Amino acid sequence: MCGIIGVIGSPYASEEVFQGMLNLQHRGQDASGIMSYNGRFRWHKGEGLVESVFTKETLSQLTGMMGVGHTRYPTHGSSSDAQPFFVNHPYGIGMANNGNIINFPHLQQYLKNEKRRVLESDNDLEAMLNLFACSLDQNDFSADIIFEAVREIYHRANGGYSTIAMIGDKGMVAFKDPKGIRPLVMGERNDKECGQCYAFASEDSALRAMDYTNIHDVKAGEAIYIDMERNVHRRLLEENHQASCMFEWVYFARPESEIDKRGVYAVRLELGRHLAKKLKGQDIDLVIPVPDTSRTAAIALAETLGVPYREGLIKNRYIGRTFIMSSQRARENAVKLKLQPVLSEISGKNLVVVDDSIVRGTTARKIIQLLRNCGAKTIYFVSSCPPISYPCYYGIDFPDPSELAARAGRTIEDLRKEIGADHLIYQDLRALKKVLGPDICRACLDSEYPTTIFEAGQFEGQRRRDRE
C-alpha cells in the first residue's frame, strides 16, 4: 500500500505533488520521491517522510508542468527502492505505483528471456514499467498505442494496482487494475495562469486540498491519457466485477476521503453502529478508541449504546502508523512510545476499547497490558473489522498467513486469551458486506480472491527474502 499523485498542466507541478504527498503520508512512511519533466526528467527521492526527504532547494530543481510523486510502504523490494522509477527508452518514462503484482517472479523471467530486459531491483514496479516500455517501442506513438500498452500490463500482470506514468514530450497516463482493487481518482482545475490542469491521486482528499474539482474515481480496468495539449483520452479496456479493497475504508484511507462514492467517515460510523448491537446489556462505563483510525467507529458505538465516550489513550503524534512499519520489532517498540493512558479514565472502569482491526495482535496485546497496569476492571476489546484470517497479495502487508492473529484454525477464544482481553468482539462479515456492498475485495476475511493466486507462493517467498 502506497500513496501516488500526478499533476499535469501546472507550472508548479512538483510543488503540488509535494503538497499532495503530505496528504498521502499516512499511506507510506518508509520512502518518498518526486519526478518532474521539463524537456528532461528530474527526480529526487530518499528514505523517510516527505518533509524529511524534500527541502525548498530540492523542490526548486524539480521544474516543469508535469510531475509524479510517491509515498512508499514496501511490500516488494526494500524501503530503499523509492519510486518513481525511470526508463530512458522509448521517449523516457517515469512511473509510480500503488499495489502488488503477484506473479512478479514470472514477469522477471519473461522480460529477461523474451524481451532481453534485466531488472535491477526486486520492486514489481520495475517489471510494470518495462512491460509498458516494451509495448510503446513497437509502433509509432498514439493514444491507441498507449491503451494497448496498458492492455498488455492487464494481460500479463496479476495483482491489484493503480499506476501513474509520465512520457517525455507526450503526456501523462493513469490506470487502475481490471478489478479496481487499489484506489485512484482524477480531478481538474482551471488555473488562471496556465489554463486547465489535471491530477490523479490515491485519495480525493489530497486533490480537494489543492482546489481540484470534478473529482471522480478512475474505473476498474480504465486507462486515461492526457497529452501535452491537455486533451483527455480515456478508454475502458476491461470490464469486470469490481473488487475494491475493504481495508481502505476500515483502516488505510483518511476519514474525509471518499472511495467509489462511499464516504470513509460515514462507513466507519455505520460499522460502529453495527458493533453496538453486540454489546447491548453489558455493564460498560466508557468507550475509548485506539487512536486514530478507530475513533469514528467508537463515537458511533458509544452514541448507539448511550455510554460515555472518552479519549483514554493519547497518541504521540510523532510516532508513525505501527501497522505499516517494516518489521515486527519496529511495531512493538513503536506501540510502547505511541500511546499514553489517561489514568483517571481507566482505573476501576469497565472499558470498551475499539480498534479498527486486529492483524498480528501486537497492538491489541500491548494496549490491553497497558490498560491492565492502569487498573482497568474489565476490558471488552472490539474490532470494527471481521477476523483477518487469510493473507493479502494485493498490497496490504500481511502476505504470510502464519503472522495473522486470527489465522485459519484459531478460535476467537484462542485469540482472546492471547491478547489478554476479558471479552473479544469482532464485526460480523455480514454487517461489513451490508455497509460496503458487494463490490469489495474481502479475500483476507473469507479467502474469495478476485484474481487467481496460484503464484502466491512465489510472492510470499520473495517477501520473506526482502525482510531478511
The pLDDT of 407-416, averaged and rounded, is: 92
What pLDDT score does 456 carry? Answer: 61
Predicted TM-score (pTM) of the model is 0.92
What pLDDT score does 162 carry? Answer: 98
Which residues, other chains included, contact 205 with Cβ-Cβ below 8 Å and sequence gap of 6+? 23, 254, 256, 257
What pLDDT score does 77 carry? Answer: 53
More confident site: 328 or 205: 205
What pLDDT score does 240 carry? Answer: 84
Cell of 91: 521517449
pLDDT confidence tier of residue 269, bands split at 50, 70 and 90: very high
Q: How far is CA 175 from CA 45, 147, 234, 325, in A?
A: 23, 10, 10, 27
Q: Which of 2, 134, 245, 374 is catalytic?
A: 2
The pLDDT of 53-61, averaged and rounded, is: 96
Asked if the model's pLDDT at residue 460 lies above 70, the reply is no
CA distance 411 to 145: 52
The pLDDT of 316-321, averaged and rounded, is: 68
Asked if the model's pLDDT at residue 311 lies above 90, the reply is yes
The pLDDT of 315-327, averaged and rounded, is: 61
Asked if the model's pLDDT at residue 25 lies above 50, the reply is yes
Asked if the model's pLDDT at residue 131 lies above 50, the reply is yes
pLDDT confidence tier of residue 467, bands split at 50, 70 and 90: very low
What pLDDT score does 140 carry? Answer: 87
Residue 415: exposure state from Cβ atoms within 10 A (0-12, 13-18, ≥19): buried
pLDDT confidence tier of residue 338, bands split at 50, 70 and 90: confident
Question: Helices 328-338 and 362-373 meet at what angle, rounded to 10?
Answer: 30
What pLDDT score does 322 carry? Answer: 55
Domains of the chain: 3-243 (3.60.20.10), 268-436 (3.40.50.2020)
Which of 148-152, 246-250, 361-365 has the weakest average pLDDT?
A: 361-365
Asked if the model's pLDDT at residue 75 lies above 80, the reply is no
CA distance 458 to 147: 29
CA distance 305 to 296: 15
The pLDDT of 139-144, averaged and rounded, is: 90
Q: Evaluate whether 9 touches 197 at the Cβ level (below 8 Å).
A: yes
Percent of the chain surpassing pLDDT 70:
92
pLDDT digits (tens, 9 = 90+) for 77-107: 555 689 999 999 999 999 999 999 999 999 9
pLDDT digits (tens, 9 = 90+) for 340-382: 999 999 999 999 999 999 999 988 999 999 999 999 999 999 9
Q: How far is CA 246 from CA 97, 259, 326, in A?
A: 19, 10, 22
The mean pLDDT value of the chain amounts to 92
Asked if the model's pLDDT at residue 258 lies above 60, the reply is yes
pLDDT confidence tier of residue 139, bands split at 50, 70 and 90: confident
For 36, the 3-state DSSP assignment is strand
The pLDDT of 139-156, averaged and rounded, is: 95
pLDDT digits (tens, 9 = 90+) for 285-304: 999 999 989 999 999 999 99
Asked if the model's pLDDT at residue 468 lies above 50, the reply is no
The pLDDT of 293-318, averaged and rounded, is: 94
More confident site: 139 or 39: 39
The pLDDT of 433-459, averaged and rounded, is: 87
pLDDT confidence tier of residue 400, bands split at 50, 70 and 90: confident
The neighbouring-strand residues paired with 131 are: none
More confident site: 395 or 458: 395
More confident site: 148 or 398: 148
To the query of whether residue 134 is one of the catalytic residues in this protein, the response is no
Percent of the chain surpassing pLDDT 90:
83
More confident site: 194 or 58: 58
Torsions phi, psi for 363 (to 5 deg)? -65, -45
CA distance 158 to 394: 9
pLDDT confidence tier of residue 454, bands split at 50, 70 and 90: confident
Give just the sign of the alpha carbon dihedral 93, 240, 4, 105.
negative
